[in-house]
Amino acid sequence: MTLGHLDVVRRARNLYDEVVVAVLINPNKTGLFTPEERVALIEADVDDLDGVSVMTFEAQLLVDVCRTTGAGAIVKGLRGETDYAYELPMAVMNRHLAGIETLFLPSDPEFAQVSSSLLKEVARYGGDVSRFVTPAVAEALRERLGKD
């Protein structure tokens, strides 16, 4: 989780009594961290936020996760036009499939150009990503990538 993600979760929590961070397990991707490790890192990052929980899901539609959890909306952070172009068709489909609305929150300009894949690449080559992630995530990246 980047600080941009955490910012979106905090802002969503200001809008809703409960926020569920749903972590997709994509069997077609090999992540740097296991789903269990990702959940543990996110839980540590949101530990101070009452009403925020973390769960994983796979092989189902996000609207089905919303139905299961009772969520009335999906909150997505947008860094710019590319994110919007990618997310808009999904938001429309989710509304058609299940009546679930999507709320787009614009990224804080400080994090607008930061992506998880970019940070992983920088960290992989020994770059300092600590201003873009929490200390726990920075440490986990250093340990996983063997960069001290």
> Helix, strand or coil for residue 103?
strand
- Phi, psi for residue 72 in degrees, rounded to 5: -100, -5
Asked if residue 29 belongs to a known ligand binding site, the reply is yes
Annotated binding residue at 78? yes
E strand spans, the chain: 19-24, 52-57, 73-78, 101-106
Annotated binding residue 124? no
Instruction: Find out whether 117 is annotated in a ligand binding site.
Output: yes
On whether 130 is known to bind a ligand per the annotation, the reply is no
Task: For residues 74 and 20, give the distance between their C-alpha atoms in angstroms, rounded to a whole number.
Answer: 9
Calpha distance 16→2 (Å, rounded): 21
53 is catalytic: no
Per the annotation, does 112 bind a ligand? Answer: yes
Q: Look up 107 and say whether it is catalytic.
A: no
147 is in an annotated binding site: no
Q: Confirm or deny that 5 is annotated as ligand binding.
A: yes
Residues contacting residue 51 through CB under 8 Å, at least 6 positions apart: 13, 16, 17, 18, 19
Active-site annotation holds for 29: yes
Is 5 in the active site?
A: yes
Of 13, 53, 116, 130, the active-site residue reads 116
Q: Which of 79, 120, 124, 144 is catalytic?
A: 79
Binding residues: 5, 29, 62, 76-79, 87, 111-117
Which residue numbers belong to the known binding site for substrate?
29, 62, 76
**Binding-site entries for ATP:** 5, 77-79, 87, 111-117
Residues with a known catalytic role: 5, 29, 79, 116
